[in-house]
Structure 1
Amino acid sequence: MKRFEQKPTGVCATKMVFEIEGDRIHSIETVNGCEGSSRGICALAHGMRVEEFIERCAGIDCKKKRTSCPDQMARILSRYQNGEFD
């Protein structure tokens, strides 16, 4: 299992911690941000293929910020898929 953390940009959350097993999300944890929404997103992401999460969440906007916590998660996971966190 790979574990890494990243600082998102443009959202309330100050850190996101990812655990990936193979091509599936084992867990995502956010620090700060909207607790209920983040916990819900993380619960739904458990067991999901990384690619599916990216497809579903990339581009989601929050209050016209041009990003959101799910979008930031998708962006970070996309960078992970491109080998930036090996």
Structure 2
Amino acid sequence: MHLNLSDDGSKVLGVEFTGGCNGNLKAISKLVEGVSSDRVIEVLAGNTCGTKKTSCADQLTRAIEAARAEIA
């Protein structure tokens, strides 16, 4: 995954995924572009995929949190 946040980490400027379900991940990328990182985390955190305890969307929220921690 390649994640691009605003300088202060408050906004998702773009995201590109590697692997996963290509169509859904392209849609997620378009939907989160320009959205506040808090809102993306609020909506997508904890999302699961089938019987897995996580999902690509959930992993995106974890990446946002990690990137924001590096900025702080």
After TM superposition, give the deviation of residue 80 of structure 1 in Å. 1.6
User: What displacement does 1:82 show?
Assistant: 1.9
Quote the sequence identity (%).
29
Structure 2 residues without counterparts, runs of 5 or longer:
none
Greater helix share, structure number: 2
TM-score w.r.t. the length of structure 1 is: 0.75
Partner Cα distance (1:66, 1:32) in 2:
18
> Pick from 8, 12, 17: which aligns with 2:2?
17
One of 49, 63, 72 as aligned partner of 1:76: 63
The 8 Å contact of residues 3 and 63 in structure 2, kept in 1 or not, is answered as no
Match of 1:56 in 2: 43
Per the alignment, residue 54 of structure 2 pairs with 67
Deviation, structure 1 residue 53: 0.5
Counterpart of 1:35 in structure 2 is: 22
Equivalent residue for 1:3?
none
- Once residues 66 and 13 of structure 2 are traced to their aligned partners in structure 1, the CA distance between those partners, rounded to angstroms, is 17
- Take 2:20 and 2:56, find their aligned partners in 1: how far apart are those partners? 8
Structure with larger RCO (C-alpha < 8 A, sep 6+) = 2
Runs of 4+ in 1 over 3 A off after TM superposition: none
